[in-house]
Chain A
Amino acid sequence: MAAESDNELLARVRAGDQLALQTLYGRHHVKIYRFALRLLRDEAAAEDVVSEVFIDVWRNAAQFEGRSEASTWLLAMARNKAYSALRRHKEDSLDDDAAAEIADDADNPEIVMQKVSKGERLRQCLSRLSPEHREVIDLVYYHDKSVEDVARIVGVPEGTVKTRMFHARKRLAELAKAAGVDRGWP
């Protein structure tokens, strides 16, 4: 039995089929949630983004033109909603970031190295990237999005995507080095 494609499901959603909406939700809600959570660092706010995205799918499925994968469209909507939420709670977010920086810098690299594995240290560094860098790293490495797809989701030219990814990797390498993980790049 071949599973229906996302495009077929969206066509059914356009016709008012709730089953199709549920199936689409089942396929994508976890990744949408994780994408939003990485940007917002707030589980309730990330859940709200998931709900709002699929409510918009119900209301606006006709706007999906099929020029990209449905997941790219969903992630673009999730990003817009996450950034709107970030803007609404800008001061709180900045406070959280500042707190995270202070907490992360509490131990010197040697102590950190004794406490946690290399993988754990890299994951901590990934969490400390700016939202702009986090999203491009996640879209490429976790959501398997091409240069073109990332450009669509983030709303910037493809050249900017490549440059931003390079700077995100560079910043990650700096954070990793400061945490005692020097891999000789850049």
Chain B
Amino acid sequence: MTTDPHVDVEAIEALLPWYAAGTLDPDDVRRVEEALARRPELQASLRVIREDRDETIALNESLGAPGHRAWEKVMAAVEAEPRKPGLAARLAALVGFGAPPNPTRLALVGAVAALVIVAESAAIVTMLPGAGGPNYRTASEAPSAAAGAAVLVAFAPEARLDQISPWLQQRHATIVDGPRGGFYRLRVGDKPLSKAEMSALIAELQTSPLVRAVLPASAP
């Protein structure tokens, strides 16, 4: 390796952090790699930068996540100034086996949803490189006290409540929880299904224009 006096070491040095992070555009990546091949001192810098980057990631990953209070404040503000009746608010009234909605229950639904969103995002975090922690569950693993087959359903944004209610009734389905990151937990029928029956059910639910996505959930 030779020391090439034509390399603008300062300019390349300034780009190294973004090179290490993988956020440089292709032209700059090429410039940096050419300079790295010619100037050994830049390689030493890059090693230090990678160490700093690794410890920065480790430090940030150790900081945890906000409590559900943060989401409750968002929901309180959203409920106080709705732009139009949201599907979430309308569907929240259906949670709880058809009992009439009341402010306490809606607040509980909001709190449950907020808690689960925290857990869901934590699950996403555990999938990131360098993330750790075995204590998070994905939404599909969330427990439920209800009987029957359990699925997670995201309704289409244009789906209306007066369409969803009869759709649920026709399938002997009830919303028992949610939304969790856009998904509602449905109890369908009154007995658990085999794998094949579950696949058939998901395929059938997926055909509805009211539905955006269906996922299997753990057996209740």
Q: Are B179 and A185 in contact (CB under 8 A)?
A: no
The answer to whether the Cβ of A153 comes within 8 Å of any Cβ in the partner chain is no
Q: Which residues of B contact A144 (CB under 8 A)?
A: 21-23
* Residue B200 lies at the interface, judged by CB distance under 8 Å to chain A: no
**Would A29 and B17 count as touching, CB distance under 8 A?**
no
Contact B121 A26 (CB under 8 A): yes
Residue among B18, B49, B74, B86 with the most chain A CB within 10 A? B74
Tell me the smallest distance from the CB of B131 to a CB of chain A, in Å: 10
Which of the residues B24, B78, B117, B157 comes within 8 Å of A55, measured between beta carbons? Answer: B78
- Is A126 part of the contact surface with B, judged by Cβ < 8 Å? yes
Within the assembled complex, what's the spacing in Å between the Cα atoms of A119 and B77?
A: 42
Asked if B182 and A23 sit within 8 Å, CB to CB, the answer is yes
Docked Cα-Cα span, A33 to B81, in Å, equals 24
**A184 x B44 contact (CB < 8 A):** yes
Contact present for A18 and B117 (CB under 8 Å): no
- Tell me if B's interface is mostly helix, strand, loop or mixed: helix
CB B135 to nearest CB in A, in angstroms, measures 15
Smallest beta-carbon distance B159→chain A, Å = 11
Assess the A27–B121 pair: CB atoms within 8 A.
Answer: yes
With known contacts A1-B213, A20-B182, A165-B17, A142–B57 Cβ distance under 8 A: yes
* Chain B residues closer than 8 Å to A29, beta-carbon distance: 65-66, 70-71, 117-118, 121
Q: Number of A residues contacting the other chain (C-beta, 8 Å)?
A: 55
Q: Interface size of B by Cβ–Cβ distance < 8 Å?
A: 59
Chain B, residues 108-126, CB within 8 Å of chain A (1/0): the string is: 0000010001101110110
Seed contacts A12-B157, A119-B55; 8 additional CB < 8 Å A-B pairs? A22-B117, A26-B120, A37-B63, A47-B70, A141-B56, A147-B23, A166-B13, A183-B48
The contact sample of 19 A-B pairs, CB cut-off 8 A, is: A18-B87, A19-B179, A21-B74, A23-B181, A26-B181, A27-B124, A29-B66, A34-B63, A50-B70, A59-B81, A122-B51, A123-B59, A126-B52, A137-B56, A138-B60, A162-B14, A163-B14, A166-B13, A173-B48
Chain A residues in the interface with B (C-beta under 8 A)? 1, 12, 15-23, 25-27, 29-30, 33-34, 37-38, 43, 46-48, 50-51, 54-55, 58-59, 119, 122-123, 126-127, 137-138, 140-142, 144-147, 149, 162-163, 165-166, 169, 172-173, 183-185
